[in-house]
Structure 1
Amino acid sequence: MSKMRILLTGGGGMVGRNLLEHSHIDDFEVLAPRSTELDLRDFNAVSVYLEQFKPELIAHAAGKVGGIQANIREPVGFLLDNLDMGRNIVWAARLAGVKRLINLGSSCMYPRNHSAPLSEEMILKGELEPTNEGYALAKVATARLCEYITREDASFQYKTLIPCNIFGRFDKFDPAHSHLLPAIIHKIHTAKVDNNPSIEIWGDGTARREFMYSGDLADVIVQSIKNFDSLPPYMNVGVGYDHSINEFYHATAAVMGYKGHFEHNLTKPVGMARKLVNIERQSLWGWKPKHNLQEGVEKTYSYYLEQHQ
């Protein structure tokens, strides 16, 4: 029996690279062109590629991503690049007759400043977080395009997974581009090597975030491909609990053996007070992550050391 042919966008990014090393990825024939081979911002190039290779399913994991500093600094790029990539791959897929597509959204799509867990029905029900609004708008538009295509013709099933914050192997650790947890790992490692007795935390450290290990996101994507028909049109992917920024620093320091103390800089931006996704649909669908925070940090720090020796 021939394997299902899948097009994976973003194969060179963190999500894509974790997916490509998943233990069951060889169950599929995976096409994973890098951006130098296929520029998703070029609609004609995307259309030609789909007509040539005729994938049976597309997993759209490509995107311009970055932490709070990058999003504040480059809102135009985060809006336009992600909007162009999402629109092009989804619409070209529809025109090429690709019947199944899994779109990777983001918890940034949800309204800001909700203390309760964020459920899938809450998209477009409130103001977005200003610090990453451009990125969020692009993600919302792509998810809605998927929904509209399915609404117009149910033979096209285009579905969106909405993961919580992700960290892990193949992450970005440069402070100018990194998200919270890889930034913490880099800061603590640098302080440890330099024998720095203290580390700065932006804000008072009480903001809460949910983080899932990247290998677990790869696993839910594999399960979504294998069990595509039962996958809901929108489904959050998360661990179901969150931690304060202070707790992330202390947990990471414990894994890395850092003995210093932390100082808070109250002049720095911190983003939303809390962002936790509701995982009821995920639980009913029958999937849960395999790694806790400590295990994820241990694997991520091992990868960090491999890259910085």
Structure 2
Amino acid sequence: MKILLTGGSGMVGRNIQDYAQLYRDDEILHPSSHELNLLDFESVKAYLKKHQPDFVIHAAGTVGGIQANINNPIKFLVDNLDMGRNIVMAAKEAGIKKLLNLGSSCMYPRSAPNPLREEQILTNTLEPTNEGYALAKIVTAKLCNYCSQETDGALQYKTLIPCNLYGKYDKFDGVKSHMIPAALYKLHQAKTQSDTDVQIWGDGTARREFMYAEDLADAVFYAIDNFERMPDMLNIGLGHDFSINEYYSAIAKVIGFNGSFVHDITKPVGMKQKLVSTEKLEEFGWTHKYSLEDGLKKTYQYYLESN
């Protein structure tokens, strides 16, 4: 197939491309933002008309950690909303029959009981620290549902909802990054500078589910190969989670940091737990391959080679 991949320069997009090069024969179009401006509907329509892909994977997005979301709610809402709307509606207008949209576990209500089931979306209020991003992701997923419903299945536009991700091509920064790359960066810096302690935001008891990004790439192509029987919305996760303290300990072990941890309880921590249900995923027949330790080792090796 000829597949259009949006967000090809991001962590998810680059892992999808790597996976395709290793295991697939598909032609992957991965235009830069200069070649395809997803914020401009006419630009998106023109690109689809010119290249006529058989399938669209929408992985583009404006993303960031807790602090970035808190500081820029308008940008996180408007950019992601515009990108999602433009690619879905342009694909519909172009008659592209299959589109796989990548959502986020942020779409779930903050008070929803864990594990988070697909049916719980839009049943309560969202987590305030990333509400704008979550709203945009929900609207795009619902738009995909509506396109499928209004065409009686002639268009199949579906959404994968991954848990938190980490891996190759992540952004490694002590403040702006998501938790695992931020922790890896901080612990590496502490080791190289012989620091005796590292700060953790909050008390470290919040629980998160982080999957190695190559596993998501594998799930994406499994979904493509089994698209007819894939549900309209499907969680992609591990089925288990760890506390922030446990993640820091695991990363410290991989890096070789032997110091201690200091908790700053004045910092925002987001939801206390965010574990997605894998019940439908197990029925669908896919499971992850990488353990936390193996994923962290590969991620740290990438960090050392690229920094």
Please indicate the TM-score interval, normalised by the length of the shorter structure. Answer: over 0.9
Instruction: Decide which of 4, 9, 12 is 2:9's aligned counterpart.
Output: 12
User: Retained in 2: the 8 A contact 1:47–1:96?
Assistant: yes
User: Retained in 2: the 8 A contact 1:24–1:222?
Assistant: no
Structure 2: how far apart are the matches of 1:95 and 1:80? 22
Structure 1: how far apart are the matches of 2:118 and 2:271? 18
Q: Which amino acid aligns with 1:296?
A: G
1:111 to 2:128 alignment = no
Deviation (angstroms), 1:26: 3.5
Structure 2: how far apart are the matches of 1:59 and 1:141? 17
Deviation (angstroms), 1:54: 0.7
Q: Which residue in 2 is equivalent to 1:173?
A: 172
Q: How many residues align?
A: 305
1:43-83 CA-to-partner distances (Å, cap 9, x unmatched) read 00000011111111100000001000110111111001000
Q: Which residue in 1 is equivalent to 2:214?
A: 215
Deviation (angstroms), 1:114: 3.3
1:241 to 2:216 alignment = no
1:151 to 2:149 alignment = yes
Q: Which residue in 2 is equivalent to 1:21?
A: 18
Instruction: Decide which of 130, 133, 149 is 2:128's aligned counterpart.
Output: 130
TM-score relative to the length of structure 2: 0.98
Structure 1: how far apart are the matches of 2:237 and 2:63? 19
Matches within 5 A, 1:15-164: 15-22=12-19, 24=22, 26-153=24-151, 154-164=153-163
Deviation (angstroms), 1:175: 2.9
Q: Which amino acid aligns with 1:45?
A: S
Secondary structure in 2 matching 1:159: strand
1:251-276 CA-to-partner distances (Å, cap 9, x unmatched) read 11011110000011111110000000
In angstroms, what is the RMSD of aligned CA positions?
Answer: 0.9
Q: Which residue in 2 is equivalent to 1:304?
A: 303
Structure 2: how far apart are the matches of 1:25 and 1:146? 28
User: Retained in 2: the 8 A contact 1:109–1:123?
Assistant: yes
Q: Which amino acid aligns with 1:232?
A: P
Structure 1: how far apart are the matches of 2:160 and 2:9? 19
Secondary structure in 1 matching 2:253: helix
Runs of 4 or more consecutive aligned structure 1 residues displaced over 6 Å after TM superposition: none
Structure 1: how far apart are the matches of 2:146 and 2:35? 29
1:197 to 2:196 alignment = yes
Secondary structure in 2 matching 1:27: coil
106-115 vs 274-283, greater mean Cα deviation? 106-115
1:165-204 CA-to-partner distances (Å, cap 9, x unmatched) read 0000000112343100000000000000010000011111
For structure 2, the residue ranges without an aligned partner over 5 or more in a row are none
For structure 1, the residue ranges without an aligned partner over 5 or more in a row are none
1:126-145 CA-to-partner distances (Å, cap 9, x unmatched) read 11000000000000000000
